[in-house]
Chain A
Amino acid sequence: MKKRQLENLLKEFHQEAYHWSRQCCSFDEDLAKDVLQQVYLKILEGKAIYKEKSQIKTWLFSVIRFTALEWKKKVKNTYSLEAEFDVAETEQEIDTASHEELIEKLTERQREVLLLVFYHNLTLEKAAEIMEISIGSVRTHYDRGKRNLKALILKKTLHENNR
């Protein structure tokens, strides 16, 4: 694929790529911007090569996920206290939790698969490709994630109704 063509495709997916980058960076906008910048740099410098084996969106999402993981590893030593210990979830937390906060309560894999399928309209096969795990594992995370998120949504709705 020619560089110009690739650039146009990247521009086309830029908005979606940014949202995925945010989701991979625990909704940290500054970090998401840095990660995306790094991804474009990798692509333009030829460190990440699109071999046309998969769809461009799948490949781009995969590079973003990988780069975000790399960044997370770099700042691994700077855990917040909340991340280090399981903080007991209070009733009020669920009541006032935003969509992002509810999603963050799921495990990383469950969160990723649900976002890829429901938010980015990808299939489970594509999600498996991006997450670099087998389709069987993706199905497991998908089912558990759905169950857990439904429970959280239900809990939130009940709290809102009881107010």
Chain B
Amino acid sequence: MKTIDNSEDQDLQDFFSEMKAKDSAIEAPQFPKIRKFKSWSLIPIGIAASLILMAWFYTRDKPIQTLDHDLIIITLEEGQNNELQFKIESTTELESWDSPTSSLLTDF
């Protein structure tokens, strides 16, 4: 339903026609280009990433593991002035061990 009364609103129609004419000189921005997302385009990227990961996994240097510090023996020894001292030793194996004190061998 149009409500523009031609005779009554002629001045308004003229006003808006002039406004439209002025606006026609204004350039609208370009309609944005819509990028279409194609999921299949990610497949080669995925394959390449997997190959790089695999290559890195198989070619990386394995860390050198030493057995020097596998076992730590802490002993408490009596020094020259009867003071107690901690003695820390490290070894790769524990074949024999003697208690430095007799306390552990004593039956109570």
Asked, given contacts A36-B29, A99-B22, A146-B9, whether A119 binds B16 with beta carbons under 8 Å apart, the answer is: yes
Q: Which residues of B contact A10 (CB under 8 A)?
A: 31
Asked, given contacts A11-B31, A14-B31, A18-B28, whether A119 binds B19 with beta carbons under 8 Å apart, the answer is: yes
Contact with B along A17-57 (1 / 0, CB 8 A): 01100100000010001001100100010000000000000
Asked, given contacts A114-B12, A118-B12, whether A99 binds B18 with beta carbons under 8 Å apart, the answer is: yes
Tally of contact residues, A, Cβ under 8 A: 31
- Which of B9, B26, B28 has the most C-beta atoms of chain A within 10 angstroms of its own C-beta? B28
Does A108 sit within 8 A of B, measured CB to CB?
Answer: no
Instruction: Quote the shortest CB–CB distance from B30 to chain A (angstroms).
Output: 9
Instruction: Quote the shortest CB–CB distance from B17 to chain A (angstroms).
Output: 9
In the complex, A18→B29 CA distance in Å? 8
B28→A14 contact, CB < 8 A: yes
In the complex, A123→B22 CA distance in Å? 23
B34→A7 contact, CB < 8 A: yes
B3→A117 contact, CB < 8 A: yes
Q: Which 9 A-B pairs have the closest CB atoms?
A: A18-B28, A118-B16, A99-B19, A14-B31, A15-B28, A119-B16, A33-B29, A123-B1, A11-B31
B-side interface residues toward A, CB under 8 Å?
Answer: 1-4, 9, 11-13, 15-16, 18-20, 22-23, 26, 28-29, 31-32, 34
